[in-house]
Amino acid sequence: MSTLVIVGTQWGDEGKGKIVDVLTKKADYVVRFQGGANAGHTLVINQKKYIFHLIPSGIFWPQTVCIIGNGVVVDPEVLIEEIEKLKNEGLNINPDKLMISERAHVIMPYHKALDLAREKKAKHHKLGTTCRGIGPCYEDKAARKGFRLIDLIYPNFFKEKLKSIIEEKNVILKYLGEKPIEFKEVYERYIKYGEYLKPYLTDVSQILWGAKKENKNILFEGAQGTFLDLDHGTYPYVTSSNTLAGNACCGTGLGPLDVDLVMGIIKAYTTRVGSGPFPTEIKNHIEEYLRTKGNEYGSTTGRPRRCGWLDLILVKTAIRLNSIKALALTKLDVLSGLEKVKICIGYEYKGKKIDYLPSSVLEINNLKPIYQELPGWKKDIKNIKNFEELPNETKLYIKTIEEYLGIPFYLISIGPERENCLILKNPFES
């Protein structure tokens, strides 16, 4: 086994960054394949917190090459800031450490302006986006009006295309009541970004093909989560990329038969940031308990995350959609101290019991979760070093989930630090 894809099984923020960091100890490559600076992946190393939006979460392991694939939409301003911060920490962020696909699309200022303007104008039907320009950039990619990073190093080509595109965007911005974008400023700034990033640009597909042939350990780091997927999520309250494991291939240029294992990350409860349906959302004091104890505030926008009970219908669906054969459970420590814990094992819809997520948000909004109640546990489990030391009630919670899903847990995360993790099986060692 050498190629592992990691995806979130809920609505994002499952703790993917932390698990990626832990597993990177044995990885030669860590690769982002979709999303952009809407992602916020947190690592806590020696009590210091790092949040990455674009840089893959394996960056702190010296032996690992970090790659940004073609499926990612890159905001050069954010990326360069992240590179500079890491360099200031004394890290090697040379082109042998960080590689970026020439084919990755570029977030332009008008993407961010349009994202913001649409959210502002939407009033009652806001999607609650991160306003990072993600939707408008993927729109332009599909419309074949986007810029790829490689375009920034051909000034004349870039100039001509940019002029006509800005003309069109300014008509839309004017309609939305926003200020026009100034061509010259954007052109000059983006050419500079191109010069800065040029040494990092490469053909990622070829690099990964070579790595796979040499049987190197490659870890694909998903962003967002299964139910933010553009096709299979709670549309339209989703992001604008395919977040599923299948996109690890399209988003990097590795073929589908070259993926060996997909691991799903499950947060021990559910959160969602932004608008959209959320059947197991908690509407009493326990929501605030989880938010405070789990520090559930968006890593990218700082917004309070909505909190709810673990929904196994979602996770079961994610297992099917992603071919998940291994699981990691995170934030189990956050549930410590609760009298009782609940797990959703079905929904009631129009008086009938169903065990799937309907396609329409109108239907999802009317689901009534069916819960299995389990005893809680009081003990703080953060510093536990092996599985056997966990309280019996905690073990029962884990076992109930595992039996329902029929997929084994490889890791159990019990705190934000690297060390707060029980590794039951390392996928790179099987």
Question: Which residues are CB-neighbours of 95 under 8 A, at least 6 positions away?
Answer: 199, 200, 202
274 binds, among ligand IMO, Mg ion, ligand GDP, none (CB under 5 to 8 A by kind): ligand IMO
Task: Rule CB under 6 A: say whether 265 interacts with ligand IMO.
Answer: no
What is the C-alpha separation between 68 and 127, in angstroms, rounded?
27
Exposed, middle or buried: residue 233 (CB in 10 Å: 0-12, 13-18, 19+)? buried
416 binds, among ligand GDP, ligand IMO, Mg ion, none (CB under 5 to 8 A by kind): ligand GDP
Q: Of the ranges 185-193, 292-300, 366-374, 387-395, which one interacts with ligand GDP (CB under 6 A)?
A: 292-300
Of 61, 71, 73, the C-alpha closest to 29 is 61
Task: Rule CB under 6 A: say whether 12 interacts with ligand IMO.
Answer: yes
Q: List alpha helices for 216-341, DSSP H.
A: 247-250, 285-293, 312-322
One of 8, 146, 233, 276 touching ligand GDP (CB under 6 A): 8
- Specify the residue, 40 or 274, whose C-beta has the smaller distance to Mg ion: 40
Q: Of the ranges 121-129, 171-179, 189-197, 309-317, which one interacts with ligand IMO (CB under 6 A)?
A: 121-129
Task: Rule CB under 6 A: say whether 16 interacts with ligand GDP.
Answer: yes
Exposed, middle or buried: residue 2 (CB in 10 Å: 0-12, 13-18, 19+)? buried
Task: Rule CB under 6 A: say whether 111 interacts with ligand GDP.
Answer: no
- Specify the residue, 279 or 416, whose C-beta has the smaller distance to ligand GDP: 416
- Minimum CB separation of residue 299 from Mg ion in Å reads 4
Question: Which residues are CB-neighbours of 115 under 8 A, at least 6 positions away?
Answer: 129, 131, 132, 133, 134, 135, 136
Task: Rule CB under 6 A: say whether 242 interacts with ligand IMO.
Answer: no
Tokens of 421: 């993790």
- Minimum CB separation of residue 41 from Mg ion in Å reads 6
Question: Which residues are CB-neighbours of 89 under 8 A, at least 6 positions away?
Answer: none
Is the Cβ–Cβ distance between 3 and 254 less than 8 Å?
yes
Task: Rule CB under 6 A: say whether 295 interacts with ligand GDP.
Answer: yes
273 binds, among ligand IMO, ligand GDP, Mg ion, none (CB under 5 to 8 A by kind): ligand IMO
* Alpha-carbon dihedral sign for residues 230, 78, 14, 125: negative
Q: Of the ranges 199-207, 250-258, 298-306, 307-315, which one interacts with Mg ion (CB under 5 A)?
A: 298-306
- Specify the residue, 287 or 296, whose C-beta has the smaller distance to Mg ion: 296
* Alpha-carbon dihedral sign for residues 83, 86, 87, 91: negative
Q: What are the residue numbers of the active site?
A: 13, 41
Q: List alpha helices for 89-154, DSSP H.
A: 109-122, 134-142
One of 4, 6, 7, 17 touching ligand GDP (CB under 6 A): 17
Task: Rule CB under 5 A: say whether 8 interacts with Mg ion.
Answer: no
What is the C-alpha separation between 339 and 282, in angstroms, rounded?
15
Task: Rule CB under 6 A: say whether 64 interacts with ligand IMO.
Answer: no
# residues contacting Mg ion (CB under 5 A): 3
Task: Tell me whether strands 3-8 and 261-267 are parallel, antiparallel or unpaired.
Answer: parallel
What is the C-alpha separation between 129 and 300, in angstroms, rounded?
11
Of 207, 217, 176, the C-alpha closest to 95 is 207
DSSP 8-state class, residue 356:
S
Q: Of the ranges 40-48, 66-74, 77-85, 344-352, which one interacts with Mg ion (CB under 5 A)?
A: 40-48
Tokens of 283: 């509407």
One of 9, 38, 247, 299 touching ligand GDP (CB under 6 A): 299
One of 80, 127, 186, 370 touching ligand IMO (CB under 6 A): 127
One of 24, 101, 247, 299 touching Mg ion (CB under 5 A): 299
Q: Of the ranges 19-27, 62-70, 217-225, 321-329, which one interacts with ligand IMO (CB under 6 A)?
A: 217-225
Return residues touching ligand IMO (CB under 6 A).
8, 12-13, 38-41, 127-130, 132, 134-135, 223-225, 228, 239-240, 273-274, 299
Contacts with ligand GDP, residue ranges (CB under 6 A)? 8, 12-18, 40-42, 44, 294-295, 299, 330-331, 333-334, 413-416, 420
